[in-house]
Structure 1
Amino acid sequence: MAWRRNLDRLPTKVNLRRRNVDIPSVMCPLCGDYEETVDHLFTTCSVAIRVWTAFGTWCNIPPLFFFEFKDILEIHKLIKSDKKAEKIIYGLVIITCWCIWKSRNHTVFNQMKCSPVDIIGEIKSRGFAWVKNRNSYNYITWVDWCKYPLYML
Structure 2
Amino acid sequence: MAWRGNLDRLATRVNLKRRNVDIPSVLCPFCEEYEETVDHLFTTCSVTIRVWADVSARCNIPPIFAFEFKDLMDIHNSIQAGKKAKKIILGLAIFSCWCIWKGRNELVFNQIRRSPQDIMLEIKSRGFGWVKNRSSCKNISWKEWCNSFVPLPV
For this structure pair, what is the TM-score category when the shorter chain's length is used for normalisation?
over 0.9
Residue 83 (structure 1) aligns with: 83
- Structure 2 unaligned segments of length 5 or more: list them: 150-154
Residue 3 (structure 2) aligns with: 3
For 1:35 and 1:147, how far apart are their aligned partners in 2? 38
CA contact (8 A) 2:128 2:142 kept: yes
Partner letter of residue 114 of structure 1? R
Distance verdict in 2 for CA 1:140–1:45, change over 3 Å: same
For 1:7 and 1:53, how far apart are their aligned partners in 2? 24
- Structure 1 unaligned segments of length 5 or more: list them: none
For 1:8 and 1:134, how far apart are their aligned partners in 2? 26
Greater CA drift, 75-84 or 139-148: 139-148
Residue 40 (structure 2) aligns with: 40
Task: State the shift of 1:130 in Å.
Answer: 1.0
Partner letter of residue 75 of structure 1? I
Residue 74 in structure 1 maps to residue 58 in structure 2: no
Other structure's SS at 1:137 match: coil
Task: State the shift of 1:147 in Å.
Answer: 2.7
For 1:135 and 1:50, how far apart are their aligned partners in 2? 26
Task: State the shift of 1:146 in Å.
Answer: 2.2
For 1:74 and 1:118, how far apart are their aligned partners in 2? 25
CA contact (8 A) 1:58 1:147 kept: no
For 2:35 and 2:135, how far apart are their aligned partners in 1? 43
Greater CA drift, 90-99 or 1-10: 1-10
Residue 123 (structure 1) aligns with: 123
Q: RMSD of the TM alignment (CA)?
A: 1.2
For 1:7 and 1:60, how far apart are their aligned partners in 2? 29
Other structure's SS at 2:24 match: coil
Greater CA drift, 27-36 or 139-148: 139-148
For 1:147 and 1:120, how far apart are their aligned partners in 2? 15
Distance verdict in 2 for CA 1:15–1:139, change over 3 Å: same
Other structure's SS at 2:74 match: helix
Distance verdict in 2 for CA 1:125–1:3, change over 3 Å: same
For 1:135 and 1:101, how far apart are their aligned partners in 2? 23
Task: State the shift of 1:134 in Å.
Answer: 4.0
Give the 5 Å matches for 1:4-153. Answer: 4-134=4-134, 136-148=136-148
